[in-house]
């Protein structure tokens, strides 16, 4: 029997962080001072938790938001009963044919054009504050890989707000009020892959990005936020398709740790104090300074969750590979552990992702969006020409 945690331990290296530390490079003066202060905080915390009682420690953490671990769907014209039943078990549904081959090829060129556009409004804003960084982004065709482009792009709005896709979402979310609230492109080239993770950056308090609030009296469910992964190139194991661990939406403790450390950073220092001093400096460096969330923060959080919870993700699980033709889309919950195979061969794998929320349960704040670049760049939706969220018609 292979459990989810076996797969995750196999893939996420939580012992040797040399690669991630090398990617950060030497720290500046102020960074070193911050790090020293944090290490001192961990040492102080260690004196408080001398008994090292893990269970007692996690009992005192900020409790997670009210939530249910079970998925409930509802019948609809676009999702059959077998697909719904499978989704309720796995948190995954697909593939759904959403675009034909020509439409997918046209959209692919359009998305690549967005990344190459010197007048991209997102790039303009970055350029005002960080001109050299903006120039590099343009050369890399990486204008943060199209983040939230759907909010100003009629073509993307047409696809991500398509009647059929919205209807599928309504059925899988069991909601009469669905909105697309974020979008992104994923591009994988030679050898690249996405490391295993849950999408944990959306709830209020975790980051300064567009934030999601639970409505009073509501309960967060695994399908309150769903992702549509729409392949614009053919995707299979060799070309780096997504792979999702079925059923893993029901264990959110890894997420919850991140959530409560954000609420009470001192608890993070206390948690680190359970680990040997030799690794604390490295872990703090990654938490404070690593750029890609999945390279640094995810790995550290995972190391902590694996340490504190003896039965973390201990259920038997299998991967579902998102093998797709161009224009096919798969849907998965943000709490399902997911990552990608490595891309091999010529060219690239290119995917459009739309993120959807059940607005009966959640309220989405769109007037605040920040990018953590060399410095924090605050984005004003009016500057960007962002339109309201994309609601089902
Ligand atoms: O396509 C990928 O490589 C990653 C996608 C992903 O992590 C997501 O959509 O949340
Ligand atoms: Fe993800």
Domains, the chain, with CATH or none: 83-251+318-391 (2.60.120.620)
State the average pLDDT over residues 196-214. 69
> pLDDT at residue 50 above 80?
no
**Cα 125 to averaged position of ligand 1 atoms, centre (Å):** 25
Q: Which residue has the higher pLDDT, 186 or 254?
A: 186
Ligand 1 in reach of 199 Cβ (< 6 A):
yes
Position in ligand 1 atom list of the atom nearest CA 186: 1
Ligand 1 in reach of 348 Cβ (< 6 A):
no
Ligand 1 in reach of 198 Cβ (< 6 A):
no
Q: Which residue has the higher pLDDT, 14 or 360?
A: 360
If you average pLDDT over every residue of the chain, what do you get? 90
Ligand 1 in reach of 242 Cβ (< 6 A):
yes
Ligand 1 in reach of 194 Cβ (< 6 A):
yes
Q: Yes or no: say if 176 and 230 are a contact pair by the CB < 8 Å rule.
A: no
**Which range among 36-50, 213-227, 256-270, 282-296 shows the weakest confidence by mean pLDDT?**
282-296
**Which range among 226-230, 251-255, 334-338, 345-349 shows the weakest confidence by mean pLDDT?**
251-255
> pLDDT at residue 3 above 90?
yes
State the average pLDDT over residues 105-129. 95
Backbone angles phi, psi at 166, to 5 degrees: -65, -35
Looking at the CA of 350, name the nearest ligand: 1
**Cα 224 to averaged position of ligand 1 atoms, centre (Å):** 18
Q: Which residue has the higher pLDDT, 129 or 262?
A: 129
- Residue among 89, 165, 95, 151 at smallest CA distance from 333: 89
> pLDDT at residue 194 above 60?
yes
Position in ligand 1 atom list of the atom nearest CA 193: 3
Ligand 1 in reach of 187 Cβ (< 6 A):
no
| Two tokens, residue 113 | 């054009």
> pLDDT at residue 295 above 80?
no
- CA pair distance 285, 288, nearest whole angstrom: 5
Q: Give percent of the chain with pLDDT exceeding 90.
A: 67
**Cα 285 to averaged position of ligand 1 atoms, centre (Å):** 25
Which span out of 9-13, 47-51, 98-102, 293-297 was modeled with the highest average pLDDT?
Answer: 98-102
Looking at the CA of 188, name the nearest ligand: 1
> pLDDT at residue 197 above 90?
no
- CA pair distance 119, 141, nearest whole angstrom: 13
State the average pLDDT over residues 35-58. 88
Q: Which helix (H) or strand (E) holds 46?
A: helix 29-48
> pLDDT at residue 342 above 60?
yes
User: Using CA positions, which residue lies closest to atom 10 of ligand 1?
Assistant: 199
Please report the pLDDT score of residue 305 as a whole number: 94
Radius of gyration, CA atoms only, the chain:
21
Please report the pLDDT score of residue 367 as a whole number: 67
State the average pLDDT over residues 228-251. 97
Please report the pLDDT score of residue 176 as a whole number: 93
User: Using CA positions, which residue lies closest to atom 4 of ligand 1?
Assistant: 194
What are residue 211's DSSP bridge partners?
365
Q: What is the pLDDT of residues 144-171, one digit of tens each?
A: 899 889 988 999 999 999 999 999 999 9
66 burial via Cβ count (<10 Å: 0-12, 13-18, 19+): exposed
> pLDDT at residue 11 above 60?
yes
**Cα 273 to averaged position of ligand 2 atoms, centre (Å):** 29
Q: Yes or no: say if 201 and 290 are a contact pair by the CB < 8 Å rule.
A: no
State the average pLDDT over residues 163-186. 96
E-strand ranges in the chain read 92-97, 178-188, 211-214, 225-231, 242-245, 319-321, 328-333, 338-340, 349-358, 362-365, 369-372, 376-379, 390-391
Looking at the CA of 243, name the nearest ligand: 1
- Residue among 357, 355, 335 at smallest CA distance from 70: 335
Q: What is the pTM of this model?
A: 0.91
Please report the pLDDT score of residue 327 as a whole number: 98
User: Using CA positions, which residue lies closest to atom 9 of ligand 1?
Assistant: 353
- CA pair distance 10, 3, nearest whole angstrom: 11
Q: Which helix (H) or strand (E) holds 47?
A: helix 29-48
Q: Which helix (H) or strand (E) holds 355?
A: strand 349-358
Q: How confident is the model at residue 206 (pLDDT cuts 50, 70, 90)?
A: very low
Position in ligand 1 atom list of the atom nearest CA 188: 3
- CA pair distance 125, 139, nearest whole angstrom: 16
Ligand 1 in reach of 231 Cβ (< 6 A):
no
Listed in sequence order, the DSSP H helices in 161-264 are 163-173, 253-263
Looking at the CA of 194, name the nearest ligand: 1
Largest CA distance in the chain: 64
Ligand 1 in reach of 31 Cβ (< 6 A):
no
Ligand 1 in reach of 353 Cβ (< 6 A):
yes
């Amino acid at each position: 029997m292979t459990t989810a945690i076996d797969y995750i331990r196999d893939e996420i290296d939580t012992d040797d962080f040399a690669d991630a530390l090398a990617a950060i490079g030497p720290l500046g003066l102020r960074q070193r001072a911050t790090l020293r202060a944090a290490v001192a905080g961990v040492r102080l915390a260690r004196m408080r938790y001398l008994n090292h009682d893990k269970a007692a420690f996690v009992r005192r953490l900020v409790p997670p938001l009210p939530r249910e671990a079970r998925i409930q769907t509802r019948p609809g014209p676009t999702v059959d009963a077998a697909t719904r039943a499978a989704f309720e078990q796995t948190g995954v549904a697909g593939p759904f044919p959403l675009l034909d081959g020509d439409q997918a090829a046209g959209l692919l060129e359009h998305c690549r054009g967005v990344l190459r556009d010197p007048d991209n409004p997102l790039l303009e804003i970055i350029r005002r504050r960080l001109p050299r960084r903006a120039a590099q982004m343009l050369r890399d065709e990486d204008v943060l890989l199209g983040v939230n482009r759907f909010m100003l792009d009629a073509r993307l709005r047409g696809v991500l707000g398509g009647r059929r896709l919205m209807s599928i979402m309504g059925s899988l979310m069991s909601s009469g009020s669905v909105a697309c609230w974020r979008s992104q492109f994923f591009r994988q080239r030679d050898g690249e892959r996405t490391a295993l993770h849950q999408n944990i950056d959306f709830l209020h308090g975790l980051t300064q990005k567009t934030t999601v609030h639970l409505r009073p009296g509501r309960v967060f469910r695994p399908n309150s936020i769903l992702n549509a992964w729409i392949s614009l190139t053919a995707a299979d194991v060799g070309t780096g398709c997504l792979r999702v661990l079925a059923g893993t939406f029901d264990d959110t403790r890894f997420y919850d740790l991140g959530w409560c450390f954000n609420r009470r950073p001192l608890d993070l220092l206390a948690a680190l104090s359970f680990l040997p001093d030799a690794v604390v400096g490295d872990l703090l460096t990654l938490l404070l300074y690593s750029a890609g969330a999945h390279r640094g923060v995810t790995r550290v959080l995972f190391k902590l969750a694996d340490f504190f919870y003896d039965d973390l993700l201990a259920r038997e699980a299998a991967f579902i590979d998102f093998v797709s033709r161009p224009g096919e889309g798969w849907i998965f919950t943000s709490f399902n552990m997911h990552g990608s195979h490595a891309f091999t061969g010529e060219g690239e794998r290119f995917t459009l992702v739309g993120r959807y929320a059940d607005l009966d349960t959640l309220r989405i704040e769109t007037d605040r969006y920040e990018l953590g670049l060399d410095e924090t760049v605050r984005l004003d939706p009016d500057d960007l020409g962002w339109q309201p969220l994309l609601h089902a018609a």
